[in-house]
Chain A
Amino acid sequence: MSDEKEKELNRQEQAEAQPGEQEAEPKGEAPAAEPAAEAQPAEAAPSEPAAAAPAAEPTAKVSAAAPSEPAAAVDPEREAKLKAAAEARAARAAAKAAAESAENAEAAAVDPEREAKLKAAAEARAARAAAKAAAEGGDGGSGEAAAVDPEKEAKVKAAAEARAARAAAKAAAEGDAAPAEPKQPSPKQPQLDEAVALIRAQVGDDAIEEAYINELNGHLPTLVLKAERLLACAELLKTQESQDYSYLRNLSGVDYETHLETVYHLVSLKSGSDLALKVKADRENPQIPSVVSVWHTANWNEREVYDLLGIHFPGHPDLRRIMMPDDWVGYPLRKDYEPLDPEV
């Protein structure tokens, strides 16, 4: 559904549901209902004249809404309530416009401690990355990562700060001092540390860009590796007795608009422990070494990632298209893919 159509439908719904609050509703409600925070400033302008169209519908209540404005003097507390509601909505919309992932605001109202946990997790992640950057300052490992991806770090930090500010404001408003307890160390943290130490010892200090715990996924230890070191790390993780990640469960490619990435999910059949690896690649010339020599199962998975996302895997025995016809031009799963024939 296109955004404009959805907004039109939203407005029609509002026109049906609350015809009495016609004036305040379309301006405040429409941005709150529309999940894309980026589209707000653009959509606010066309929503204004369009709001006049449903308002012009010949229903008795709506025409009563216009005389309700002067009649608001008769009903002062209703007018005050409407204004307060519009202000609250505007404040929320402003807070949303300030942060990237705005949807947590509504979900947070549902579950405050979950919001606090997520915020704490993001902060801990940022803190850990910052601590690691500080610790390996001379290595140039994370320094390179920071240089490679400065806007991402800044965005993550800004989002974390905005979230922290919002949570602090909420705690102040609610009046209860949400105890800023130190975040419980994850049960998988030792496993992550062991893997990090092993890789750093055997492969090199600069192999790991970032290492964190993915709480959502059952505390999955996740390592972000550098592309050049991927093969060495993979072989190490497979052959080392203590790690024994001989089974590659899944290999997927993701297109973040700033870069491309492949994710590897590994599991050890004997101990049942999991590990995830991520490797980034830039969009102009994405090259990630192929792990087919380590895990044969990566063969077709990498072909699929090449076919749909365009990442090249040097070292792959037979890199050609697998799903699309062999002479297809373009990489369909990319976010900026334009199909030649949109109707098909």
Chain B
Amino acid sequence: MIRTEELLLNVGPQHPSTHGVFRIIVKLDGEVITEATPVMGYLHRGTEKLAENLNYTQIIPYTDRMDYVSAMTTNYVLCHAVETMMGLEVPERAEYMRLIVMELQRVASHLVWWGTYLLDIGAMSPFLFAFRDREIIINLFNELCGARLTYNYMRVGGVKWDAPPGWIEKVRDFIPYMEGKLDEYHRLVSGNEIFLARIKGIGKYDAQTAIDYGLSGANLRSTGVDWDLRKAKPYSLYSRFEFDVPLGKNGDCYDRYLIRLEEIRQSLRILKQAVEQFPSSGDVMGKVPRVIRPPAGELYVGIESPRGEIGCHIVSKGKAEPYRLKFRRPSFVNLQILPKLLVGETMTNLITILGGIDIVVGEVDC
């Protein structure tokens, strides 16, 4: 008989498919994984510790860099938390700007996910298509707030910049363009037999496991659990808009894939309504005291980022700096199911499953 040994393989930290500096130590028996241990912390920058010395406006650029693919939602969770603590009212135009920007960010983030996921699986052209369309969104953000990735756009009490003239029209023109492109992407990939063979039935888990592991976002909804924070615990102006929450049945990677693409379509639907309802005038910054000092107490809010529930837990002692600021990062929590899912899978499916969870390592490490 052939003598076999268990092989210890290091996937990462430098690896094109781990979506950042992230390491998985894999015990292999042939090509089948017997045990997988994720190791993280390569991108730990100590945001939570730094935040104890900075006032809230200064923390906002740091939140940009935590989930850099979806910086607007991370900006928003901090501003929303402080505003809820202080009881500040945000003017309507500012809320509309925030919502439009967050939904555009959701589309952009899902495009990044789609492009890189298919690149990991082996298809190269969807990556270019996705980034070409994301470039339009990024340029819109560039015109709005002056940066392509780390926007520093939201402030406690509103947003920093108003829409420049012509910007809303550009968003309005982008919506049908993106809808057309989405149909094209479905034609390109979703029917492809090779792709379906690689994705269907991979990485399955059921609803009870998902709830137990605290998954959120598309990972939870792929099992059929109807929990989207925009509908369950509405924040901002989401209660004014009509949109569906796509749900899956099987809890495998294919369902997550379809859900995320469908979420792009629903985001475009929200954008269409928001652009129509956009108030023609108004302030973009509310009445905010010069120094932002939330009252003493603590607070936790969670919102729906493209990856799942991002939450901000602030303990304040009434000073201009938080006493303790903790971010509940969706990628960190969603990643916990990885060791469980990988047992018994092959190495190729490791990449598929890891990509299907949609992590951003800046968020995993905070």
Contacts and interface: CB of A to CB of B under 8 A. Distances in A.
20 contacts: A101-B317, A104-B295, A107-B293, A118-B295, A216-B299, A217-B301, A247-B211, A249-B328, A250-B300, A263-B300, A265-B311, A265-B313, A296-B214, A297-B212, A297-B214, A300-B335, A323-B41, A323-B366, A325-B41, A332-B49
Interface in A241-276: 246-250, 252, 254-255, 263, 265, 269, 272, 276
A312 B232 CA distance: 34
Interface string B288-329: 010001011111111000000101010101111001101010
Contacts of B40: 322-323
Contacts of B44: 323-324
Nearest to B334: A297
Contacts of B41: 321-325
Given A101-B296, A216-B295, A249-B302, A35 B333 contact: no
Given A35-B319, A247-B227, A265-B311, 6 more contacts: A102-B318, A216-B298, A247-B214, A252-B326, A322-B40, A323-B40
A231 B301 CA distance: 25
A110 B212 contact: no
A220 B297 CA distance: 12
B320 A35 contact: yes
A107 B288 CA distance: 11
Nearest to B207: A269
A146 B60 CA distance: 39
Nearest to B295: A118
A173 B232 CA distance: 46
Question: Which of A217, A218, A276 is the most central at the interface, judged by chain B CB atoms within 10 Å of its CB?
Answer: A217
Nearest to A321: B41
A114 B87 contact: yes
A252 B332 CA distance: 13
A144 interface: no
A287 interface: no
A322 B300 CA distance: 23
Contacts of A80: none
Interface in A85-140: 101-104, 107, 110, 114, 118
A218 B309 CA distance: 18
Contact of A110 (B48, B289, B313, B320): B289
B300 A249 contact: yes
Contacts of A325: 41
A273 B56 CA distance: 29
Contacts of A255: 324
B32 to A, nearest CB: 22
